[in-house]
Amino acid sequence: MNTKKEQIARCIKVSAEDNVAIVVNEGGLPKGTIFDFGLELKDDIPQGHKVVLRDIKKDEEIIRYNQVIGYANKDLSAGNWVNEFMMSLPTPPDLDTLLLQNTVQTQIEPMEKEYFFSGYRNKDGTAGIRNILGILPSVQCAVGVLNKAVEKLKQDILHKYPHVDDIVVLAHSYGCGVAIHAPEAKVPIRALQNLATHPNLGGELLIVGLGCEKLQPEQLIAQGTHPEVIVLQEEHGYQNMIQSIVEAAEKCLKRLEKRRRVSCPLSDLAVGLQCGGSDSFSGITANPAIGYAADLLVRCGASVMFSEVTEVRDGIHLLLPRAANQAVGQRLIEEMRWYDTYLELGGADRSANPAPGNKKGGLANIVEKALGSIAKSGSMPISDVLAPGEKVRGKGLIYAATPASDFVCGTMQLASGMHLQVFSTGRGTTYGLALAPVLKVSTRNELKQKWQDIIDINAGRIATGEATIEEVGKEIFELIIEIASGKKESWAEHWKLYNDLCLFNPAPIT
């Protein structure tokens, strides 16, 4: 923004019923600032934080998004700064009393034209957007040797296979020292089984086990697949281990090298949606724009996943009316209830979220964060609900239950079959995934200006009136197609900013 624009005091109220608004100006606004509608600030207010629009009495509702985000702990005057210390947390929606009537009114109107991306057709009928050799350890014990073998493969071998994008170790901390037959062990086990058949791996896989682990390599082999398998305890020393892994990997590389991109309809695409390093702009800029892009993808027949249970829980009453039928609504409630119990058993609750950085960015509590988070789900009916790590079963908007943790959510969305991820951030994050490109959308102009070579699309222009939600949403949609087609890389992919995989494991560790 130019100097003249910087001097104009700006705030954004989402709904006519809201009694707070957020400050837009970079660096915030000082006490005494007067908005053009006459309100004078009684406090210094940081950027993204809330200003009281009318007097609020103690215990009165604080309203944003036309929803109660808290109750005032003291009398607040118009022009005051209100933050997390000045409000108490509302109780979450009662799952036992929520109605399960199917009230979906939205009809999915197909796009006027059919959209395509250039992808790799797999033998099972799915398509991939990258051509990657995946190497899956059955247990963490094998990862040290495996990493050394991959160093050698990348240094000495990979250049001979120019049509293979990468070699990725699907390293994880599971496999042994765990209660593998406990009921909830099904979560990490199915996640690993589904990661092994990720569409970006082209049906090729090398599994490396130690030999004595609880999770044996054969338990990771999907029906109808024939991966290469190496068991380290059957090898004669370190050098033989490395050589066996390299030789097995070359067999896979030779087959992957034959693959070429072909035209695929967008209905073959599975896109994950996530937010991290969120701030109070997330729910009014980046997430609504992502939601608009999600609607376009659903209209093209694609599968679109949104997740993060604790960042949905307090908005579940807004999502249930969008369930395609009662069965989907019931599954939404079941996943919320399961997670409530999971947190309770751990002696925690939803108030453990948000993080300190979220609060610094203006998010007072989990209710406000959740209301902004669900904006990225767009407006389409919710067609299905997945338990953590389950594979996508159909098309449309899908709720894939995961924890809110960025790297756990990303891992579990990968297990569900996500080709690429669209990720909104207000505070900034260097998060990325080796198995799927991550497209970053900033909530504020300032973050894009600071991180030109990390942020892919700036949605902060929405807050300053330089672009609309629809314009930025269409930009995201078009970039998704270009990245899926291999015509562009996201910045995270360009710099190879890849987080470790982190399975969600609610089962006991022995």
Structure tokens at 373: 């988070």
Look at residue 2 and tell me whether its pLDDT is greater than 50: no
pTM score of the predicted model: 0.95
Structure tokens at 392: 């996508």
Please check whether residue 401 is in contact with residue 339, taking contact to mean a CB–CB distance below 8 angstroms.
yes
Using a 10 angstrom Cβ sphere, with 0-12 exposed, 13-18 middle and 19 or more buried, the burial of residue 183 is exposed
* pLDDT tens track for 106-156: 678 889 899 999 999 999 999 999 999 999 999 999 999 999 999 999 999
* pLDDT tens track for 24-79: 999 999 999 999 999 999 999 999 999 999 999 999 999 999 999 999 999 999 99
CA 346 to mean position of chain CA atoms: 24
Q: CA quadruple 505, 507, 508, 510: dihedral positive or negative?
A: negative
- Rounding to the nearest 10 degrees, give the CA dihedral for residues 247, 250, 251, 257: 180
Please check whether residue 458 is in contact with residue 286, taking contact to mean a CB–CB distance below 8 angstroms.
no
CA distance 270 to 383: 14
Look at residue 101 and tell me whether its pLDDT is greater than 70: no
Look at residue 371 and tell me whether its pLDDT is greater than 60: yes
Window from 148-162, 221-235, 470-484 with minimum mean pLDDT: 221-235
* pLDDT tens track for 394-438: 999 999 999 999 999 999 999 999 999 999 999 999 999 999 999
Look at residue 1 and tell me whether its pLDDT is greater than 80: no
**Residue range 340-354: mean pLDDT, rounded:** 91
- Rounding to the nearest 10 degrees, give the CA dihedral for residues 238, 239, 240, 242: 90
Q: Which domains does the chain have, with CATH numbers?
A: 1-91 (2.30.130.110), 132-256 (3.40.50), 278-495 (no CATH)
Residue 379 is which amino acid?
S
CA distance 66 to 291: 19
